Structure formats: C-alpha cells, structure tokens
Structure 1
C-alpha cells in the first residue's frame, strides 16, 4: 500500500559512491562463495596457471586469493578499485565478451562491505599494495611480492552487519565455496587450484587439482575424474557435436549412473558455469526416455559459440544467459546426447557391479558379534589357483551326470530344467558338451548357462559372468520396438466429434499455437478459435479419453517453466512403456537355453538395453577377478 502523501514532493538525491558500492555489493556478493567466485574469475582472466584460495570461518573473517597471473602496476590498482573500470572490454560491444568478468564491479563492491587489501606486481614493475576499508580507500605503498596478485578480504559484510544474519553456518558456507571452486576447476582444466581452510590457526587442504595436460578431451576427462570422481569418468560418454555455429562438448553419464538430485549437472556456456532453463530442459528431454522423474543424469557439458549468439549480461552474478536462438541449442543437446546413448548400446555403468560385489562381500564377525580389527597379515589358503587347462580338466571330471526326468516331474516344470536336473529319475550320460561354444562366450553378454528363480539368466563370458533380469531386459526390448514402429508410422490421432474449446489469455494462446506443429506430430491438433480461445480437434489415440483442458494447462505450465514442452510425448511413451511391461517375458517363466541366448543377442543389438524403462539396470556383469576376490583367491 502506498502511504506517501501526494501533496509532498520527494527530493531526488545523488547517492555517494560508498552507498552505490554497497548497493552493488548486494547484487554481486550474496555470500562468501560469491566473493570467492569473483576473485578467482579475475585470477583466471589474468592468465593465472595456479590459483590458491585460503578461507577462514567459512569466508566470513578471511578470504585470500593468490595467483601467478600478469599482475598490475601502481597506476592500475586505483582503477581496479573504481566502479565500472575494467580491462576486459572497451565498451564498444557489450556482447563481444571473451572473459569471465567484464562489469568492473567486483573489487569496489567488495571493498565497500569488507576490508580489502590488493597486492600485485606486473612483470618489469615493483610490487605495490592498496587497501580499502569499508569504502574508504588508502594510499598505494610498496610491498614484497614476487609476481602475480594477492587479494585479501577480511571481515566480510562488517560495513553491512545486517547481511551477516542471513549467512549460514561456517560449514555450509565452506561447502558452497568448495562447490564454486570445483565448477571453475572444471571450466579451466589447464589451471591448478588449491583450497585451504585456515580456520582457528589450522592449515588444511580441502581441495587440490594440478593443471591437466593433453588435448581438450584428455585434459577435461582427467579434471572431471578428480572433481566428480573416477566413477563418473568411467561411466560417462564423450560428447562432441556442432550445429549452426554452436558446439557441444563434454561428458554425459550413462542412465544407470544417475543421481537423486541435480547436483551432478554442470553446464557451461563459453566456459562460464551457468544455470539456464533452456539447457536444463534440454537435458531432461534427452534423458526422459531412460530415467524416472525422481532420478537425474550426471553431466558436464560445454556449449561454445560466437559471443554475439548469447547474452551473458542478464544478471549481475552472470549465472544466467540468454540465447539468441534457444531452439538450436536445445536440439543440439537432445540429439547429441541421444545419439551418444544409442551408440553406448547395452552398456551399463560399472557402479552396478560394484554395488553388487559390496552386497555379496561377507562381513567378518568376531566373538559376540563384534567386528574384528583388520588383520595385517594376508590370508593363507591351501592351494593357489590352477591354470586354465587344469581347471577345464577338473571341471570335466567333476561334472555331475544328467538326470532323466521321471514322468511325474516333467522337465519343463522343474526349476533345474535347463541344467538337466529333476527331483527323481535315472542317471544318464550327457548328450551334449557342457561348455558353451567359444564364439558365443566371446559375445559381450556371453552364453546362457542357466536360469535361477525363474527370472534371472546366468551367462558366462570370457572374463566373468553376467546376471540378467529377464523381465526388465525384455521390457526394454519391446519398448524400443514400439517406439521404432511409432517413429516409422507416426502417432495415430483420433478426431473429436465435438472439438474441445478452451478459453485462454491472448499470451497463453499465442505460446501454445507457436508449438502447434510439434504437438500435431504427437497427435494433438489445436487451432485458434478467436479471442484467445483455442480448439482441440484431435488427441493421440493411444491415450484414450483425454482431459483436454487439463492437458493444455499442463503444457502451458511446462512452456513457462522450461521454454518447451515434452508432456504429450512423455504421456505417449509412458503408455508404450506400460504396454511393453505387460507384453514382455514375465517373471516366473522358465526359458529354454536357445531363448535365453536369443534374448542376450537381442540385448547386444538394441540401444539402451542396459537399463529398463525406469533407469534401473537390466544386467550385472561380474568379472572373474572380482568373483575370485570374494572367495579370497586373489
């Protein structure tokens, strides 16, 4: 409610520089992690090869950033602490930006709300120091420094104490700083970073990466392995694609290497870490057919383009961007990721096997249930593992004889049918050799050796064994066939006898009609009906009876949120997934050896067969060395 008296004319005043800087600091520096981000980005822009960061009390009492960049002279320091003074751009073209920073606000904003000391030395010049205390600038003086720049920030927000109340615990702020450094480390693999926590007089390194060597992908893969973990590097796919002036590079994880939140999604535009609706929506669209809604893919993707194709000057923190043609970027991401996932074939993440091995590994329990201390001496066994020839001879000698099933227990009703077993019968000699053919064993999923619990196929490979969930695997195979048929024949639409007319605002109707062609390809036909209303004339036949108004409202909500809508396609694919589930091999069905092998061969030939329609793995591969380790043979 406006309480100002209209009879009183307010006075317009020119704010002083200190107030202006504090206002700017509220936009640029939200928390200690924001200050660290600005200072480290300045170091990278200065050509630093190594950047050191020291933090005390979550950045509230101390932030110190040291770099070996080009440094500054005594004439540069006062300008660096002035508002809108920068060496990154000349002001003639605000879109031609090739650096992290360009606004010239970070240092003066930090100096307005904290105690800032700037020490720097350029090559061929003397080292110089300049301080700013709550907006009050001191005088430049000589200092001792070999080269580069050291920025020391103490007592953050002491000049605006109200802001301190909004900060979280020291631990939470330190975690935010660490996340910021890790994102910048991914963006710059050729730069080394060291993060230290010096709280309470301690000196603890919490994160360190050395500069990576090699080409673009080797350096990036090495850096991602150190930041996101070696498991991500092992279970991710290299992405490299171009379209209409945009290039997409990076790594995207397999669907079976997913997360419960989006914390493992790292997106970069021209090397800058960003959070963008277009990119997030495209990422979701690329994985929507492989993950349930409560799972999120892990990626590190870099979009590079001409700076004129993207506006990074949308937000003071520069974490948001605006593309001139977002549709091209979205299409590039969706197509590239789906192509990479298709090329991965039946591959599943190694973490599936690791989780299985951890579940199988027995615990050593001591007296009274206490876990004993680990033994320093290796365990001793009676014999070493024999050679391959000795094992084969031993297996042949110890192979059990087949049983001829009695009429009362038909083989097809026995859980041991594929192994030739039964509950009663006479002993007979095997009619076929026990070992599967060598050419089948060399296949990625090997040769079927049996079935347990009427749902799990056990297959032997050259290097180990594979356990396949027959229902989940066949469900995926049927689903892929249904999708292929739909892509070839199109989505059948059913015409409504009486079109559903839905009243919308003018803007909502225009947003919906802008994607009418895309909706029509999915079987949903909409037309303008005047005065903001739209008429729904056809709906996808596979969906049956449709609540047109609810569907249209949901599509509009998705357009507002992500800039595009995949809702109709998701609903259709959900129906196909349910059809595939009901039409697949059910758990409890006993399969013949040829059926099991045919299923394995089809899995090898079908993209995405490594996970079911909900993102769960369809098989687990255990290497022989890992199995031997379980039994203490290694």
Structure 2
C-alpha cells in the first residue's frame, strides 16, 4: 500500500521543501530526548547537578505521566535567563567553540524546550541576591516571566507529559513500570554524585509517600561511595566488593567490583560511568565481562560500580541525544584498563569468597518455615554445670609442596582417614582455612578454624589450583609436556577434526600436542605433565566444545585460558576420591596462597565458612 501525504506536495503532486515551525521542531526533538517520564527526570536532575545543587528532591505522580517536580538548591536563574532556557540550543554549559571539551551533564540545550513542547512546564527560580521569577510553557506556547516566591534554587514542574502529542502516551508502560524506571535513574545519578542528597517521593490522593531518601555522604570519594552503595545496593554488595583504584595511560578507573561468588543471574547490578556520567556502552560492558571470564560461568554476571575518568578531549559524549553512549579516542586503552584493574583486584583477593555463601548455607540447613528460635537455657546451664573448654585444633604436620607429577595427592585411593587426636597444649594455627579434620562422602573436606568450621569442595578447589598453575607455567616458560607411550587415537567428524587441527599450534603452547591420523581421526601424542593420566578423548571433546563456543577457529588469549580451564577440570582430583590428612592440609595451604581460589573456574564457591555462633544459632543455643 502506498502512503501519500498532501502536506508535502503542491497541486501537481511534486514534493515541496518546507521550513518546519518551531513547535514541530521541538516536538521532533522531544521524541529523541524525552522517550518516557524517566527521561524527563534524568534531564531535569542532570540540570540540577550542573547548577551545583547539594540537595535534589524529585516528586512524581502516576508514574510521572501527570506530574514530575524537581526541586534543587543550585545557583538558580534570573528572570532574563528563563526565556532563553526555553529556547532550543541555548545553554550555559558550553560556548560552542569546542564540542570535545564537555565537563557537564547537559550541553545540547534541548531538554527544557522539548519538555515544554509536549507537556505543561513551569519553572520557578531564584539567584541569590535577586528576586525569584517564574515562566511557563504549555505545548510550546511560551508565557512572559513573572515575579514569584522562592527562597533559593530552582523548581521545575512538568504536568501532563505528552498531552500535546497524545499518540506518545499509548507507548508508555504501566504507572508502576514507569515509576520503577524513574527510581533507576535516580539511583544511577546518586551513585555518580555521592556527596549530593536525593529525595524521591510519589504523590497520590493519599498524600506524599517517600520512596528514597539519601543524605549527602561526607568523607573522601571511596568512603562516600561505599556508604552510598550500601544504601542503594545493600550491605551484601559492599561487604563482598573489592576496591578498584587503577590508573594507566592517562585513564583512571575507580569504584567497586564484587567477588565472583557474589555474581548475579542478570546484569542489573552493573553500573558504569564515564567522568561521572551514567552510560550504557557495549565496549565497557564487554570489558567488564572479559575481566571475569575465567572466574564466572556464561550464565552468571558480575556486579560492579565503576567510573572511568578520562580527559574530556579523549571521549566523545555527543553521540546520541540521550547522551547514554560514548565513543573513545583510544578504545583499546579503556578496555585494557578495566580488564587489568579488575583482574589485579581478583588476584589480590586470593582465597576470599562471598560472605553471602555462608548465609545461604545456613538457610539451607534450617528447615523450611522454621523461624529462628530465641536462645534457651540448657540443662547444663540450669544446674551451673560447666562444659569442658573447647580444645584447640591440632597443629599442621609439616608438608612438602606437591610436585607436578603428584599434584599433592596420592595416586591411588586409600582407606578413609580417621580424625587425628587434637593437641591442646600447642597453640591454635592461624591459617585462614584451618586444619583438616575429616572428609565427608569422598567430596567435602571439613576443616576447623579458631572460631568455626570450613567446608571445602575438593574437586572445585583443586580444579582452580591446577588451572592457576597451568596459567603460571604458560606465562613463565611454557607448560611442561609428557609424551604418551602409546598415542591415543580419537575419531571425530571431518569438520570437528579440522577445527581442532586449526588450533593445534595454540594447543601445543598449552601443552597438548595433536596430529592428524587420517580421515577424521586425531592422534593425541603429548599432554601437560601437571595433569597426570587423563582421558584423552573426553579432554579433546571438551576442548572442541570450547572452540565451537568461541565462534572461530583462531585461539585468542581468552580462548587459550578457556581451554586451560577445561584441561584443569580433567586434571583435578575427582569427587569420590578418598584423601589422607596431609593431602587435605596441603590442599588448604595451597588454596590460601593461590589467586582466585575462592571460586572454581565456573564461579561457584570452593569453600564455605560457618562461624560457631551461626552453628549454635541453628541449634537454638543463641
């Protein structure tokens, strides 16, 4: 079907070029800048921040569709400034001489006139030492300024958003969804400016309901941001987050990134900023994902709040009217800084794991629907009987660092170990992961610490240790290989065999040597010595899956590490393996000095710590 509009044609049907009037221009601009009520809130709050406000209050009604009011204590505007503020491309943020030196949130001069063209806008403002003034704009019709009453700052009130373009109202979501979007905007801007106070309230027929109240946070950047994030994301995030403070090549990255074991099922807890501006940039999100790639599985997402500080001349924020996208002059430098800074922090975290793992473990122990009971007095307490003092854990027997051939574990299964007798006369050990006391179901190591117990997943922990050894060997001098006395022949499809052979040089660097054996057959001739005896066919098929997931036959560094991770899984101690006390203690000591040992290669925790008071609470003793 052919659409024809008489508005752009003359009598002969020839298209005619016309100059749009100012009202139509503003409504077109509003379609780019003001997508929904949350977009209007973002523009108005950013204006308040640019005005130097220390406290900002946001009120809305019906999800922002009928009312949005933003009040600030910033520098304000004079009666002469108000008409200019509602004129397109009029701004106090830049002079137009250099669009690459932008140091403010706003700079396009489109937000206020766009809002006035699609809604009923009233601005009341006062500059210190002058009288307050007010101006209104209804559907693009501008009124003259008039005197008003206001102590300081600016109040912007927007009513009946999109009343001048009612078709846009049909594309809005429910009031609740729009209100949630407004909350998310305020939350992001509050993270960007922790020293500014924010108040968010919902107005209804019952009155005003406070949704969010954040006081200005004192202290330096990290202290203020830590307290602000605790309020916004919860104490669990800040308790399990690593401080990020790195600088390289004129770029600086600051903020907090969570431990891998605090991962999320979606990317909703990823907040990225460039010079304090909230952005949704694929390059930055991709770099964040890459930084966690070998400590998280593909279906888990890291949590982080990061601000990339860069010279404004090295980043272009004038890419999109919403200013949510940026373009870097040196994108590789920005990506490299994010990856390096986070991986360095992860390495420094060592065997640390999320504190939420312990609380989830305790919740699993507690029967469903069973509330925590108040502490009850025991019979022993009632009769003033004193239980024997708890014995201190036995000291660790001296052990020798495991060699690559044995990996620190016996090659053949041994009988179940008996618990060693404690030695109360000797001091308790200070090792974070404690002393091994038992092995349960040939999979879980139980260790005793000074104030609780630690439960270790032996396979997951050893998998991480082997993986880190492989990476270290490869970085230093290449992975030591051991030739197979009889090459293992693996039959694959011709396509799969070709994919594996195309990666043969990189696999050789990783200690795995393969050769064609005719047709779709592959001969495995050498394996990494650190893995010991492995199932060659299962290992090659796992690596094949990793190569197929990568979408290409070439092996980048990330793909090599992913292959090493698969190899580590095959070379680690398996579930069902019985271990001697010295083996378990050797594993614990190596975990304490190995980077990233708090989680396996897939982001699952390798150990859980339960404090004595938590265990006592399970039994109603506290």
The two structures have a TM-score, normalised by structure 2, of 0.82
Q: 1:287 to 1:384 in 2, by over 3 A?
A: farther
Please give the alpha-carbon distance, in whole angstroms, between the structure 2 residues aligned to 1:181 and 1:589.
Answer: 53
Write the distance in 1 (CA, Å) between the matches of 2:423 and 2:347: 35
Q: For 1:234-257, what per-residue CA distance to the aligned partner results, in whole angstroms no more than 9, with x for missing partners? A: 000001111111100000000000
Matched, 1:622 2:610: yes
Partner of 1:606: 594
Please report how far the alpha carbon of residue 305 of structure 1 lies from its aligned counterpart in structure 2 after TM superposition: 1.2
Deviations 1:349-394 (A, max 9, x none): 00000101111224566xxxxx8xx99x86444455999x953279
Structure 1 residues 364 and 340: alpha-carbon distance in aligned structure 2, compared to 1, 3 A threshold:
closer
Offset, 1:589: 1.5
Q: Which residue of 2 aligns with 1:247?
A: 252
Secondary structure of 1:206's aligned partner: strand
Among 184, 191, 195, the alignment partner of 1:186 is 191
Q: How does 1:42-191 map to 2 (within 5 A)?
A: 42-191=47-196
Aligned pair partner of 1:30 in 10, 31, 35: 35
Report the Cα offset of residue 202 of structure 1.
3.0
Find out whether 1:418 has 2:407 as its counterpart.
no
Determine if the alignment matches structure 1 residue 477 to structure 2 residue 474. no
Change (3 A) 1:155 1:362: same
| Aligned 8 A contact 2:452 2:610 in 1 | yes
**Structural mapping, 1:523-562, within 5 Å:** 554=551
Describe the SS at the equivalent of 1:97. coil
Contact 2:550–2:559 at 8 Å: present in 1 too? Answer: no
Q: Please, what is the CA RMSD of the aligned residues?
A: 3.2
Deviation at 1:576, TM superposition (A): 2.0
Please tell me whether residue 330 in structure 1 is matched to residue 318 in structure 2: no
**Cα 1:305–1:49, aligned 2, differ >3 Å: closer, same or farther?**
same
Tell me the distance in 2 between the aligned counterparts of 1:624 and 1:295: 31
Shift of 1:490: 5.1
Query: Which blocks of at least 5 consecutive residues in structure 1 are unaligned?
Result: 366-370, 397-411, 421-431, 493-518, 525-540, 557-565
Given that residues 436 and 447 in structure 1 are in contact (C-alpha distance below 8 angstroms), is that contact kept between their aligned partners in structure 2? Answer: no
- Aligned partner of 1:296 in structure 2 is 301
Q: Unaligned stretches of 5+ in structure 2?
A: 394-412, 481-503, 510-525, 528-538
**8 A Cα contact 1:310 1:321, kept in partner:** yes
Deviation at 1:436, TM superposition (A): 9.6
Q: CA-to-partner distance for each residue in 1:544-568, whole Å, 9 max, x for gaps?
A: 7999xx9799359xxxxxxxxx974
Cα distance change of structure 1 residues 393 and 285 upon mapping to structure 2, 3 Å threshold:
closer
CA offset digits 1:187-245 (Å, max 9, x no partner): 00000111101133431111111100101110111111111111110000001111111
Report the TM-score when normalising by structure 1. Answer: 0.80
Q: What is the aligned counterpart of 2:284 among 274, 279, 286? A: 279
1:592 partnered with 2:580: yes
Measure the CA separation in 2 of the matches of 1:220 and 1:201.
Answer: 34
Contact between 1:522 and 1:568, CA under 8 Å: does it hold in 2? Answer: no
Q: Is the 8 A contact 1:384 1:633 kept in 2?
A: no
CA contact (8 A) 2:392 2:427 kept: no
Q: Give the one of 443, 465, 481 matched to 2:431.
A: 443
- CA positional deviation for 1:570: 4.0
Q: 1:606 to 1:32 in 2, by over 3 A?
A: same
Tell me the number of residue pairs that the alignment of Structure 1 and Structure 2 aligns: 547
Q: Structure 1, residues 269-297: CA drift from partner, whole Å, max 9, x if none?
A: 00000011211111111000100111100
8 Å contact kept, 2:30–2:115: yes
The 8 Å contact of residues 56 and 200 in structure 1, kept in 2 or not, is answered as no
Answer yes or no: is the 8 Å Cα contact 2:240–2:355 preserved in 1. Answer: yes
